[in-house]
Amino acid sequence: MSKPAYCYRLKKLREANGYTQSDVAIILGIRQEQYSKYESGIHQLPIHHLIKLSKIYKVTSDYILDI
């Protein structure tokens, strides 16, 4: 089973903005391990985190979701 497209977008956006997984986890108020599971596709990205990430990266949620 392949990862959802948003997993790749999350990593690409994070790296392009110079953040580590720990940095993003702190911004979201979660542990780094939890954020890692979003990027790896183990857990689905909750809508409230999607909205916050779209604001941080200044992109639409559609872009993150690749729709």
**CA nearest 60: which of 6, 1, 3?**
6
What pLDDT shows up at residue 1? Answer: 65
**What CATH number should be reported for the domain holding residue 29?**
1.10.260.40
Tell me which residue range forms the domain holding 22: 5-65
Domain count, the chain: 1
pTM: 0.88
In the chain, DSSP finds a helix count (H) and a strand count (E) of: 5, 0
For 48, other C-beta atoms within 10 Å of its C-beta total: 9
Q: What are phi and psi of 54, to 5 degrees?
A: -65, -35
Question: What does the pLDDT look like over 26-54, one tens digit per residue?
Answer: 999 999 999 999 999 999 999 999 999 99
DSSP string, 39-50: HHTSSPPPHHHH
